Amino acid sequence: MIAEVIVDIATSAIDRKFDYLVPERYTSVVQVGSRVKVPFGPREIMGFIVGLKEETDVDIQKQKELMDVVDLHPLLTTEMMELAKWVKQDTLCLEIDVLQMMLPAALRSTYEKVVVLEKPDLIKDEELIALFGSKNFFVLPKDIDSTTVKKLKRLADEGILSFETVMKQKTAVKKIAYLELSQDTTIFQQVKEALTANAKKQLALLDKLASENRTSIAMKEITNEWGFTKAVVDQLVQKGIGTITEKEVYREPVDFQSVEKKSPLQMTEEQQIAYEKVLHSFEQHRAETFLLHGITGSGKTEIYLQMIAHALSVGKQAIMLVPEIALTPQMTERFVERFGSQVAVLHSGLSAGEKYDQWRKIHRSEVKVVVGARSAIFAPFENVGVIIMDEEHESTYKQEDSPRYHARDIAIWRSEYHNCPVILGSATPSLESFARAQKGVYTLLTLVNRPKSQPLPPVQIVDMREEMKKGNRSVFSIDLVEAMRNRFSRNEQVVLLLNKRGYSSFVLCRDCGTVMNCPSCDISLTYHRANERMKCHYCAYENPVPTSCPSCQSDHIRFFGSGTQKIEEEIAKLFPAEKMLRMDVDTTRKKGAHASILQAFGNQEASILLGTQMIAKGLDFPNVTLVGVLSADTALFVPDFRAAEKTFQLLAQVSGRAGRHDKEGNVILQTYSPEHYAIQFSKAHDYQGFYRQEMFYRHEGKYPPYTFIGSIIFSHEDLLSVSDYAMKSVQWLRENLPDSVEVIGPSIASISRLQNRYRYQCLLKYRKDEDVGHLLHQLQNVYKTHYMKNGYHLSITKNPSVLM
DNA sequence: TAGGCAGCAACA
DNA sequence: GTTGCTGCCTAA
Ligand SMILES: [Zn+2]
Ligand SMILES: [Zn+2]
């Protein structure tokens, strides 16, 4: 038998199947989807079996046997392997990268080089002896200097030492030791009678066991809570009262006991209609995509819950995607309330072990519902009944680095595989999705009423130019200050949004204006207050903040925070009695900080929550009756065709935060461009109006959804080389692409240098994937054969979420 | 002429 | 991604 194996090496030349002979003893255990240990050149590495066959074209002399079958049960389903092939083809990435991404990080193998001392008496060099310490081996560090390596290699040639590569698995299954008591109850009496008088502890433990009347007790409980040492237990085990066994346990991030079970809510007529349309499609086993457009508070989640419940009732599984930032404990609780321990949760806050355990529960079908962020779309269920993506417009559903997949595309692919519906839900759908719904590619479902909430809050626009004329130079308009004062007098809460997308704090010299930049990237360094250091977001560079300016030696160094600090001071002056919580990149760097700030605000520990766009999601607070947007327009003027769409989505989202409950809410938008349509339509809560206006501009500019965008980045350490490569490539594209494809560039990329590499960018606007797919593959092949080895980089992103 | 080192193909 | 081979250069 022959196994087709994709090996664990992420290089394009290796990213294909290799045939291995299956030794006789493994023929009954090898399965497609299992991992295997294989010889590859002089090494041993991990690989995935992607096929089994009886014959191979490979030279008989080249053929090798696989060494070991690692998994007795396949890790990857047939579906996942097919999906990986499609993702490779569609996003121009490596198949092995997709396969690795489908599995939890804990299953990834790592490789270590170990130096083993063979003849200890023949080694003279003191430095080398020190490396071994008292052992006869050491792990070769990655950053070891080359002279030491040379010395070691020489000794290896003489046979004094040898190099070995060790394959390691990161995290294993967690096991807990249990004392299993014997079934034979007479043994206890026998042992007890045979005890000598000085065996007081053993006697006490026997009595305790008798009083507990359990058959299995965790060793931890016996030692920590009952206060017996392991020696006492061991002695009794030796006398035959039972055995110590290891039991597999799951590291469980959700406490199911503490969550009260809840029944489905009565749906409104509008919800019922939407639900039944999906249900009909579900019953027909159709792979239909629904766009559920419902304003904030219109009850989309109840439709999700009931659809999932129905899928489970006929033995199917469900995948529920939520953007990472909205995946709060409150969010997951809603699912646990309905489905109890049938829910698995996957998000970035889990440890590697917890993620692995959640994944195993999914893989073994011990849970039926997955609630998770982007990567949860790869949940290895085998009988999916419905896939739901909440807030489908979120750009975080697109993975920024390879494999550059969009969760929406994966969702639709999987729905076709399982013949089940997909629900894309949003209050402000992406233009792409809404346009597809208009064309009938997706089925549009609309919710316009808010069953439990007040009508959408009135939005007031404050023209900050007028404030300037009145002589108010503060970031707070007179109206906003007045409204805030009014809320505080009623003991209500206020949310303030500082709309400064993408800005982080930087370090600047006040005398000459020099901004501290990364020496290897054309980007300013980010100031980290916690340790007084400056870091580069794009490479590993890190340095303490200088005491004097490197270009003019002045010591007037200033830090520009995300802007929230300055506003914090101003609030303290205006409302000295009010407590405030700040939420921005600085205060949420630590894991869990985000959730704890929101929780504190929910507990009324402060009356003001000030933050950047990250506050737009998450909890809804019943006591918040005013949302103030300090600078509604700053994101409008970034050079991105989605700027208006993103601004509208953000404003719509924060507006929904005010007055979701019995109290009436208000929104105040401060702006320097009150006439802009994104702001005007936000005020009117008019998605459709915004959609029509924005579609007009997209049509004018030939932007999505009228076209698709492809972004190609060329980079090299040498500026002239990369400009030459970019020019040649783009010229070739122009000559070979059909006229319907617009080729823009090449031009210097917006981040012109990254990790010491100069960057050029080219943009493609095309209408059909077939128009560019073939040529992009060809461009990549030319890159692999002629450019890659000379230090060039080529990166192709289809439908980038940001134009960088 | 041995030793060293960069460049490169092969990995089943 | 690594490895070991090849051919060229350099120091003795
Ligand atoms: Zn950098
Ligand atoms: Zn200066």
Q: What is the CATH number of the domain that holds A71?
A: 3.40.1440.60
Find and give the residue nearest to B3, measured CA to C1'. A154
pLDDT category of residue A561 using cuts at 50, 70 and 90: low
Among A93-107, A190-204, A361-375, the minimum mean pLDDT is found in A190-204
Letter string b/e over residues A483-522, b meaning 16 or more CB atoms within 10 A of that residue's CB: bbeebbeeebbbbbbbbbeebbbbbbbeeeebebbbebbb
- Predicted confidence at residue A539, as pLDDT, reads 81
Which residue range is the domain that position A524 belongs to? 507-556
pLDDT of A459-491, one tens digit each?
Answer: 999 999 999 899 888 889 999 999 999 999 999
- Predicted confidence at residue A453, as pLDDT, reads 65
**Are residues A572 and A719 located together in one domain of the fold?**
no
Query: Stated in angstroms, how far is A37 CA from C3 C1'?
Result: 18
**Are residues A289 and A419 located together in one domain of the fold?**
yes
Residues lining strand B at under 7 Å (Cβ) are: A 11, 13-14, 17-21, 38-41, 56, 58, 62-64, 150, 154, 789
Residue A129 is assigned to a structural domain of this protein: yes
Residue A529 is assigned to a structural domain of this protein: yes
User: Does residue A248 surpass a pLDDT of 60?
Assistant: yes
pLDDT of A160-184, one tens digit each?
Answer: 888 888 888 765 677 888 888 888 8
Residue A42 is assigned to a structural domain of this protein: yes
Find and give the residue nearest to B11, measured CA to C1'. A41
- Predicted confidence at residue A661, as pLDDT, reads 66
**Are residues A351 and A369 located together in one domain of the fold?**
yes
At A713, which CATH number? Answer: 3.30.70.360
- Across residues A714-727, what is the average pLDDT? 92
**Are residues A565 and A549 located together in one domain of the fold?**
no
Which residues is A766 bridged to in the sheet? A708
Cis peptide before A264 (omega within 30 of 0): no
Ligand nearest to the CA of A550: 2
**Are residues A341 and A484 located together in one domain of the fold?**
no
- Predicted confidence at residue A177, as pLDDT, reads 85
pLDDT of A252-271, one tens digit each?
Answer: 888 888 888 999 999 999 99
Q: Please state the length of chain A.
A: 804
Residue A757 is assigned to a structural domain of this protein: yes
Which residues surround the ion ligand 2 when the cut-off is CB under 5 Å? A 509, 511-512, 514, 549, 552, 554
- In the reported structure, the alpha carbon of residue A515 is separated from the centroid of ligand 2 by a whole-number distance in angstroms of 9
Token pair in block for residue A433: 């999705």
At A648, which CATH number? Answer: 3.40.50.300
**Are residues A423 and A382 located together in one domain of the fold?**
yes
- Predicted confidence at residue A502, as pLDDT, reads 46
- Residue ending a domain, choose from A248, A271, A290: A248
pLDDT of A502-553, one tens digit each?
Answer: 456 788 888 888 889 998 888 888 888 777 888 888 888 899 999 899 989 9
Residue A762 annotated as binding site: no
Per-residue flag: A43 CB under 7 A of strand C: yes
**Are residues A391 and A490 located together in one domain of the fold?**
no
User: Which run of H or of E encompasses A719?
Assistant: helix A719-736
**Are residues A386 and A421 located together in one domain of the fold?**
yes
pLDDT of A642-679, one tens digit each?
Answer: 999 999 999 998 887 776 667 788 999 999 999 999 99
């894309």: which residue's tokens?
A424
- Across residues A681-691, what is the average pLDDT? 96
Three-class DSSP category at A354? helix
Per-residue flag: A784 CB under 7 A of strand C: no
Residue A452 is assigned to a structural domain of this protein: no
The number of folded domains in chain A is 7
ipTM value for the complex: 0.91
Find and give the residue nearest to B9, measured CA to C1'. A13
Q: What is the pTM of this model?
A: 0.90
**Are residues A260 and A403 located together in one domain of the fold?**
yes
Nucleotides of strand C within 7 Å of the protein's CB atoms: 1-4
Per-residue flag: A727 CB under 7 A of strand C: no
Query: Stated in angstroms, how far is A790 CA from B5 C1'?
Result: 19
**Percent of chain A's residues with pLDDT above 70:** 98
**Are residues A613 and A526 located together in one domain of the fold?**
no
- In the reported structure, the alpha carbon of residue A550 is separated from the centroid of ligand 2 by a whole-number distance in angstroms of 7
Ligand nearest to the CA of A558: 2
End-to-end CA distance of chain A: 49
Query: Stated in angstroms, how far is A449 CA from B11 C1'?
Result: 63
- Residue ending a domain, choose from A698, A733, A766: A698
CA distance A580 to A775: 55
Higher pLDDT, A522 or A417: A417
CA distance A344 to A374: 14
**Are residues A283 and A347 located together in one domain of the fold?**
yes
Among A129-138, A141-150, A226-235, A405-414, the minimum mean pLDDT is found in A141-150
**Are residues A617 and A722 located together in one domain of the fold?**
no
CA distance A159 to A153: 10
Q: Which nucleotide in the DNA or RNA is closest to residue A11, CA to C1'?
A: C1
Cis peptide before A705 (omega within 30 of 0): yes
Listed in sequence order, the DSSP H helices in A55-185 are 78-91, 95-102, 126-132, 146-157
User: Does residue A312 surpass a pLDDT of 70?
Assistant: yes
pLDDT category of residue A276 using cuts at 50, 70 and 90: very high
